[in-house]
A and B are shown apart, each in its own frame.
Chain A
């Protein structure tokens, strides 16, 4: 049985539906991420789980018990707020001790457990400081120590790293992974940063307009997006619109205007004559001055239109026949060489037909 189960939860604000019939099962010990663009309802869903808000329809179960109407203080669920929400009038130690005080744990035990918790998040010796005397990363750690000290069943994190700078964010991501593995508590993590979602999670739920549109492991969601929205939102994806002409098993032939017939694969049933998009990730596209296509490869020609030097890789925007642009990636693997092509160069492009996914419109 899943630890946390959400059954057809709906939350409306007036006529606006912020969360629409979301059903979700999250296992014990899982690092689950809700990923979606701003305003898609991630925070609203998290607040339903925390108990700050109740769904208009649907139920929320923890360990098989209905907690839909249980107030937040009686749910073994804690939240890390984006603003950290540390109590400004209490020292770090008192902040961390707060859940234990509320649970009326004995003073001696509180002292021991707080010291232990502060050590775990590398804040030993900072117990007497006030929150305003800490850096952003340290506040973050205090918030984590405070939320984990009484071992909740589920920890909810609402974009906890959004306020940190890039380097610190990467460091905290690693720490979060380690910490989650160490404590074994179920994390439900909210972010609109797809890189963060891919790096951290065991499973991702991609949300759009109040719904969960795809659910799966990071690699599955990245490699096999089921909709145009997911393909576009997670990573970058070349999308070419076309019509299905022929189908043999999972293999399709797509008519793309201006480019002729291209091979693609489908993971869902497709009808001949159906319109949709062919989705291919830039890193799956081979780019070279001259390519002899291998069997089963799609082959195209184009002209370099633009290039984006990113340090580790260079992104080339290639103009195809009919003026369509396609992105391809090339790692800057040769020492000292940062440009393989110049704008205006003629190049060959190729990708394996399995890498090109047909997505319904």
Chain B
């Protein structure tokens, strides 16, 4: 998914052959990489989603040749099952809900933080950025397991909350293995992916614009909504995409923290591939997920652009 709009296309005739060569030399390797490791696998997945599972798992061939000639063995069954079984609809909607909520919480949490970092003194700013990045130094799974301990029934957090609830005469709650734990985990792992693009955007804002807005009568509040926020929309879109798409397909976080109530579509896809070994069905599930992700981000980007125009 491309986030930046990229350089405007220049007519090739105006480029020297050297410049053209340089352009291909520079863009060639990443394009090749994307084609081999992203585009082709996606196409294979798309094709596979119309197939039957193999006898020992994997795929049965989509077409084969024997004495009787060519045979094609496509089926729409995988998709029919997905669309007719309520379970999958519920799972998709739930994953969509989790992903949207994660994006929302991350945006609300990350925006003030990014703003503080972007407006801090330079030395201090680098320290704050470092603090955002530090969690990446330890393994993803370890960090999720850490949350398992934090949210566990024996941990101070659970005990504190349940003590308070007990005083109010409310039944004790279990934080772990709940939608709450999944939300917590998703927001926790996604937050840096919202902070960094937002910071990169906010840090470039010309402080004179804010002074001009104040000077022309805008309150601090109007300054934010009329100047800072509209100018930061590209950063918001970038951050939201980086958070939303992985959250939509998350499986490690719900697997570890979610228990049975926090299951997401990512877990089902994982199960289809690894446990049920019904690869075509897993492929169909993940193709729909991909389409959902593309659609949602497309709509968001379009709406944001419209929003800015209407604003101006």
Contacts and interface: CB of A to CB of B under 8 A. Distances in A.
Interface of A: 50-52, 71-73, 77-79, 81, 83, 85, 87-91, 94, 98-99, 102-103, 146-147, 150
Interface string B212-237: 11111111001000110011000000
A150 B216 CA distance: 9
Given A94-B312, A102-B222, A87 B209 contact: yes
Contact of B215 (A78, A91, A94): A78
B217 A85 contact: no
B138 to A, nearest CB: 40
B216 A99 contact: yes
Size bracket of the B interface: 20 to 34
Q: With a 10 A CB-CB cut-off, give which of A52, A73, A94, A103 has the most chain B CB atoms.
A: A73
B227 A87 contact: yes
Given A73-B219, A102-B218, A91 B212 contact: no
Q: With a 10 A CB-CB cut-off, give which of B216, B217, B222 has the most chain A CB atoms.
A: B216
B56 interface: no
Given A98-B216, A99-B216, A103-B217, A88 B211 contact: no
B217 A89 contact: no
B208 interface: yes
Interface of B: 206, 208-209, 211-219, 222, 226-227, 230-231, 308, 311-312
B213 A81 contact: no
Given A50-B215, A73-B215, 7 more contacts: A72-B214, A83-B206, A85-B206, A85-B211, A85-B212, A88-B231, A102-B217
A89 B230 contact: yes
A94 B227 CA distance: 12
A98 B211 contact: no
Given A85-B206, A87-B227, A73 B212 contact: no
Describe B's contact surface by its main secondary structure: helix
Given A85-B208, A91-B312, A72 B230 contact: no
A72 B312 contact: no
Given A73-B217, A87-B227, A79 B312 contact: no
23 contacts: A50-B211, A52-B214, A71-B214, A72-B214, A73-B214, A73-B215, A73-B218, A78-B216, A79-B211, A79-B212, A81-B211, A87-B209, A87-B212, A87-B226, A88-B209, A88-B231, A89-B230, A98-B213, A98-B216, A102-B217, A102-B222, A103-B217, A147-B216
Given A81-B208, A81-B211, A89 B216 contact: no
Contacts of B212: 79, 81, 85, 87
A103 B219 CA distance: 10
A168 to B, nearest CB: 21
B219 to A, nearest CB: 6
Q: 10 tightest CB-CB pairs across the interface, nearest first?
A: A102-B217, A85-B212, A85-B208, A99-B216, A72-B214, A90-B312, A89-B230, A79-B215, A72-B215, A73-B217
Contacts of A90: 311-312
Contacts of B222: 102
A81 B207 CA distance: 11
